[in-house]
Structure 1
Amino acid sequence: MSVRTVSSQADAANPLGYEKEGKLLVGFAIPCIISMLVTSLYNIVDQIFIGQGVGLLGNAATNIAFPLSIACTAIALLLGIGSATNFSLQLGAGNEKRSAEYAGNGLCLMALFGTVLMAVTLLFLTPMLKFFGATPDVLPYAEAYTRITALGFPFLIMNTGMSKLILADGSPRYSMMSMLIGALINTALDPLFIFGLDMGMTGAALATILGQIVSFCISIRYLFHFKSVPFSRGCFTIDGDRTRKIFSYGASACFNQIAMGVVQIVLNNTLAHYGALSIYGSDIPLACAGIISKVNMIFMSFVIGISQGVQPIIGFNYGAALYRRVKKSYLLALAVATGLSLAAFACFQLFPRQIISIFGTGSEMYYQFSERYFRIYMFLTLINGIQPVTSNFFNSIGKARLGVFMSLTRQILFLLPLIVIFPLFMGIDGVMYAGPIADGAAAIVCGFFTVRELRELTRLQQKNEKTN
């Protein structure tokens, strides 16, 4: 059977092959954005209520625990996006049985990895939090919070990973609702547990895991209602070859999260060390950086939601050899992400104090540091949509190694060395200036590889047109 015949059948059978790219992007990206916002909301809602009910040390504690949240997201995206990408590529090529096998393999891996991470965290909790940068004053708060949230890691990883498979199956609204309901439960229980029952950090953690468990139960229900493929018991096994391909296609998104976690750990320790040598002390920079990281997560939720929403569109059409649709879908996603980046840039530059005030009050020195950190570190937010969309684009078309490289450019190749080197000469201000320089360098690298790949897509499309 020729490629053109396969793609023609895909066109007739699946809207991903014939519906307008803009309509598909809206339909898939909006639920992804909301799902990503919900993931961010778990952390941000806790941060707001903890800031109001516990104070600065509580905010610093959630920042210390944040790398573990990043680890959960990294594992979920490794297995969720890896499974969903293989699912989409096989579905686009007409291989329904293999699509189902990749989905089942991915779900088994999610359960396994979530359980292992929970066990490791509980066994090595205190040394782990100290390694993440906890000061003696912050450590008890971080322990109380993380000891409970660790119990929810398997549910969080499975729900986040399953949401990508549900999306790839063509049910973005269901994916969104499973995440949204859990976040609403977390938001409702936070004030009850923190203020009403006076449970402090423990209450915030309990609210978080209860919301995650409910979301997990909703997602599990969908396993019995997949639209594109039927499941059998044999699908739910771990196969070495399928696992390797899942890791390969999910590595880009995973490594991006791991890089964020590594940077966060180094950043926490750098801020604590150089903060102690400055007029701010160590706890103010830790608390402020934690808040700004969570606020940036809101912006990145839009960008990453767009990049994930376009994944099944690009993956299906690339598998069906519809290269013009692949190119158009990518450029459209990039344009939307850039527009949102400009809006975020304006907010970060114009309203830093107002944003920080949402998370509780502090001294004038606290606000002074926060405003400078916001305006300098986030100065090139306006181009931060390029790297996530481009990284996921390469991943979606099966070029996993290039996708991984793109995902590591900002965090590992540029930001991490700069965070270490600049403070040696500039003190704590060096951390702030490392951000925009890394952003600019990453955008240049992504632009180079993108132009090359778009030319290749044009060549493939012209070759197909001549053949047919």
Structure 2
Amino acid sequence: MRHVLVMAGTGAIGLMAVFAVDMLNMVYIAHLGENALTAAIGFAGAVIGLQIAVSIGLTIGISAATGRAIGAGQHEEARQIASSALAVMLGLSCLLGFGTMAAAHPILHLFGARGAALEHASTYLQIVSPFLPLICLGMGSSSLMRVVGDAKGSMHITLLGALVAAILDPILIFGLHEGLTGAAISTALSRFVVATVGLRGALRHDMVTWPTPSRILPDAKHVASVAMPAILTNLATPVGGVYVTQSMARFGLEAVGGQASIERTVPVLFSLVFALTGSVGPIMAQNMGAGFYGRVRETLTAALKLVLLSIGATWLILVALQNYVVAVFNAQGDAAMLIHLFCSLTIGSYLFVGMLFVANAAFNNLGHPLYSTAFNWGRATLGTIPFVGIGLHYGPAGVQLGQAAGVLVFGTLAVITAFRVTRNLSGPALPHSTAPLTASDIPTTSAEAAMAELDELTPLPALCDQDGSLQNHVKTDSRPT
């Protein structure tokens, strides 16, 4: 639990800072008094969500592959895999970013944007999308720092990016009167900071080098075995979100603006839950590589406890403060109604979203990434389209209630399956015990090899500092944490 708290807690602080800046962007734009601008953020956010989903999937693949290597004491192998994967990630993100810039207008029209909202959202995407490779590099570097246990360093990457955006946003939006364009420029500059700081951190831990050309293809295939299902998994949520945005668009710009306000608020409120996916994954992968299957199960249980506590506490607070939330977003009409409904009722559905996120982390890092894909796409299709379709007959509130209802089934099934997966883990494992190891405890093909491993592994000191980081132990000690 302490390890999960340290890794997820520091990750949550960084995520909260980033998402808080996004939420402030929404607040700033809302106070300009133009519904078209508020709706434009909603439409542009749906497209950016798809881009980031691809980036997260690639990051999960890098994290899982390098985490297992670190857990098995193979630091050089982890570094080579990470370097090859980052090179491929940069190439793919360039194609996606510049492709989105070129096709922004037709994509947004497909999502339901019209008139002034379409023009504003197109301008925003055309400024932000070319900088997608920078945020991908920052995310990938941050995941490598979590893999080696540098939770604080990973947190600092996102904190600095958020700080830059927080300073520039009001200056560009209000001071220079750039409006939504100013928000886009601020986002682009903050991505540059995230990439620079992240790469420096990965280099400091010797987790990145120039990729070896002969290794790029085989390493990319290795990472892709997890990354491709993870990309499909992470695409499911924004694809479902696109359907919800299209449905809200039928009820006018106020409904789209209200939905966009909620979508900007949720990541801030549940930063700890969002951070768990990226934080517990490396913990599971390392212990999987080390053969400590009991610790894998403990990690899953600890993460679910944190989800329950985080969402329960947040729900109580929002019920009491919902009028202030509406006032902050300057919401009127349908937008205000949707925010009230979220704060008082549908926020509870995020308990099951959190369960799904934690289960996905288990599947991606324990060799069952297709389970994540199946459950997420099940939620985005069977858990969204029929429920939201029924809700359409009852207005914007029905759409939100339908979206909330669909996740209940898939979140529950996913977490049940995750526990089954952890129970079925098997293979040669080091004993989860503080007692001295004996030769019979270590699977090997010869008594001499067993004694050599015994000399290396006994005693087994703690490798983590009090903050949960491996720090300098990574390069000097190949034993699993």
- TM-score normalized with structure 1 length: 0.86
Alignment of 1:56-455 (within 5 A): 56-227=35-206, 232-235=209-212, 239-251=216-228, 253-273=230-250, 275=251, 282-359=252-329, 361-364=330-333, 366-423=335-392, 425-455=393-423
Residues 232-273 of structure 1, C-alpha deviation per residue, up to 9 Å, x if partnerless? 534477633322332232345433431122122211211112
Instruction: Say if 1:410 and 1:103 are closer, same or farther in 2 by CA, change over 3 A.
Output: same
How far did residue 160 of structure 1 move?
A: 1.6
Distance change in 2, residues 1:129/1:217 (3 Å): same
Q: Contact 1:100–1:235 (CA<8 Å) still a contact in 2?
A: no
The 1:96/1:203 distance shift into structure 2, 3 A limit, reads same
Q: Which residue pairs with 2:468 in the alignment? A: none
Aligned-residue identity in percent? 21
5+ residue gaps, structure 1, are 1-21, 276-281
- Give, in angstroms, the shift of residue 46 of structure 1: 1.4
Q: Write the letter of the residue equivalent to 2:380.
A: Q
Q: Residues of 2 paired with 1:181 and 1:453: CA distance?
A: 38
Q: AA paired with 2:410? A: A
Q: Which residue of 2 aligns with 1:34?
A: 13
Aligned counterparts of 1:246 and 1:418: Cα–Cα separation in 2: 35
Give the conservation status (yes or no) of the 8 Å contact 1:312–1:396. yes
More divergent stretch after superposition (150-159 vs 80-89): 150-159
Q: Which amino acid aligns with 2:322?
A: P
The secondary structure found in structure 1 opposite 2:115 is: coil
State the alpha-carbon separation in 1 of the partners of residues 277 and 86 from structure 2. Answer: 22
How many angstroms does 1:431 deviate by? 0.9
How far has the Cα of 1:407 moved from its partner? 3.3
State whether residues 42 and 186 of structure 1, in contact with CA within 8 Å, keep that contact through their aligned partners in structure 2. yes
Partner of 2:3: 24
Q: Which moved more, 1:390-399 or 1:33-42?
A: 33-42
Whole-angstrom distance in 2 between the partners of 1:97 and 1:457: 27
Give yes or no for contact 2:63–2:143 (8 Å, CA) kept in 1: yes
Question: Which whole-Å CA distance do the structure 2 matches of 1:406 and 1:378 have between them?
Answer: 21
The structure-2 alpha-carbon separation of the partners of 1:417 and 1:240, relative to structure 1 and needing over 3 Å to count, comes to farther
- Give the match's secondary structure for 1:239: helix
- Note the C-alpha offset of 1:217: 0.9
Contact 1:78 1:247 in 2 (8 A): no
Cα 1:39–1:406 change in 2 (3 A) is: farther
Tell me how many residue pairs correspond in the alignment.
Answer: 436
* Distance in 1 of aligned mates of 2:222 and 2:137: 19
Deviations 1:132-163 (A, max 9, x none): 22121312221232221123212112212221
Q: Distance in 2 between matches of 1:162 and 1:54?
A: 39
- Aligned partner of 2:12: which letter? I
2:383 aligned counterpart, secondary structure: helix
* Structure 1 residue 215 displacement after superposition: 1.5
1:17 alignment counterpart: none
Q: Distance in 1 between matches of 2:231 and 2:423?
A: 27
- Equivalent residue for 2:471? none
Q: In the TM superposition, what is the alpha-carbon distance from 1:365 to its structure 2 partner?
A: 5.1
The Cα of 1:311 is off from its aligned counterpart by 1.6
- Bigger mean CA deviation after superposition, 375-384 or 391-400: 375-384
Paired AA for residue 267 in structure 2: M
Q: CA deviation at 1:458?
A: 8.4
Distance 1:239 1:459 in 2: 29
Q: For residue 414 of structure 1, report the CA deviation from its aligned partner.
A: 0.8
CA distance, structure 1, for counterparts of residue 419 and residue 119 of structure 2: 50
2:336 counterpart letter in structure 1: Y
TM normalised by structure 2 equals 0.83
Provide the residue aligned with 2:465 in structure 1. none
Q: 1:103 to 1:236 in 2, by over 3 A?
A: farther
Q: How far off its partner does 1:387 sit?
A: 0.9
Return the letter of the residue paired with 1:181: L
Q: What's the offset of the Cα at 1:391?
A: 1.0
Deviation at 1:118, TM superposition (A): 1.9
Aligned residue identity for 2:420: R
Q: Which string of whole-angstrom CA distances, capped at 9 and with x for unpartnered residues, describes residues 286-330 of structure 1?
A: 000000111112234211212321222111111111111111122
The DSSP-based 3-state class of the residue aligned with 2:291 is: coil
- Where 1:233 maps in the other structure, the secondary structure is coil
Structure 2 SS opposite 1:182: helix
